[in-house]
Amino acid sequence: MISVIVTTYNQEKTIARTLDSILRQRCHLPVEIIIGEDCSTDHTREICQEYAARYPQIRLFCNDHNKGIVDNYFDCLLACQGDYIADCAGDDFWIDDQKLEKASRLMEADSSITLVHTGWHYYDETTKQESASPPQPFPAPLTDGKKMLEAILTQTRMPVIHLCTALYRAETIRREYEKNTDLFREGACEDLPITFHMALAGNIAYIPDITLCYSQGPETISASKDERKLFAFYRNVTMQSFSLSGKYNIESDITKDFFRRRVIALLMHAFRAYAPQLFHEAVACQKLWAVKTTYGIRMRRLVLQYPPLWRLLLRLRKYLR
């Protein structure tokens, strides 16, 4: 059996599209859909209840409080009964009805494969147009997952493995989850620890077929205009990478540069938010991540230590925009 996780919150306009795209899958294995409805304030729950009443393969979990994406996801994962797990976010949708069939056939044929992922497109909710995602950094049909670990830890805008395209082994992820529960639960996102541990545990297969439309529409956390939210999100995501790199002794010039760039990014979010507390938190992150004070970091810290200069530069920035 394949279990498909759908986490959703306030997605009344898109959740039916997501569920329909999963229900259209044609696969030789039975498929169950695990919906984690995270206490939406719109009509998302009612729509999910209608689908659950119509389709016996849907198991709906209605949260009595908002858990947040990470806890909601892993609670759903623990409820999965399948040998393989996939997921599709409540605003994304699959566009290949053979997606699960292709991936499951590969995994059944090769026990060394812990995860299969595919190509994907962006989908603009305003124009209803698809556009290509950036090139896949590991396009080979099969890759030793350990060769991907550094790239997964230091990914920025584009994930090395888009989890909504993936199918992964339930036994493997449960084993890793039980050994390292904190690394999964105490982070800002669910995909980083999953893809990292699946790559650590075996081979990663890639199918270049486009199977997913990744929704680009209303503001999300990672695409927010709120500098404080952005600071918190990127600090927490980077802390996940830091914890994983420390536990598994992954350090290189690439990881050092990643943490350096993240310190600079945090300083800039603090600058744009005009938030001294965020400045101090960024400095604390620099110390924790053992990032050397480069010229660029020194100049940014200098500005943020002098509020009059800080305010002047903010006004100048606003004027130039």
Instruction: Read off the pLDDT of each residue in 140-154 and give the average, rounded to a whole number.
Output: 98
Mean pLDDT is lowest, of 49-53, 147-151, 165-169, 225-229, for: 225-229
For residue 222, pLDDT over 60 is answered with no
Domains of the chain and CATH, by start: 2-216 (3.90.550.10), 227-318 (no CATH)
Burial class (CB in 10 A: 0-12, 13-18, 19+), 114: buried
Residue 247, C-beta contacts closer than 8 angstroms, at least 6 positions apart: 180, 183
User: How much is the pLDDT for 19?
Assistant: 99
Q: What 3 state SS string does 75-104 have?
A: HHHHHCCCCEEEECCCCCEECCCCHHHHHH
pTM of full prediction above 0.75: yes
User: How much is the pLDDT for 293?
Assistant: 96
Q: What is the pLDDT of residues 276-292, one digit of tens each?
A: 999 999 999 999 999 99
Phi, psi of 130 (to 5 degrees): -90, 150
User: How much is the pLDDT for 285?
Assistant: 98
Instruction: Read off the pLDDT of each residue in 61-88 and give the average, rounded to a whole number.
Output: 98
Q: What is the pLDDT of residues 152-195, one digit of tens each?
A: 999 987 899 999 999 999 999 999 999 999 999 998 999 999 99
Q: What count of Cα atoms within 13 Å lies in the side-chain half-sphere of residue 241? A: 25
The DSSP-derived string for 199-252 is HHHSEEEEEEEEEEEEEE-S--STT-S-HHHHHHHHHHHHHHHHHHHHHTT---
Instruction: Read off the pLDDT of each residue in 305-310 and give the average, rounded to a whole number.
Output: 89
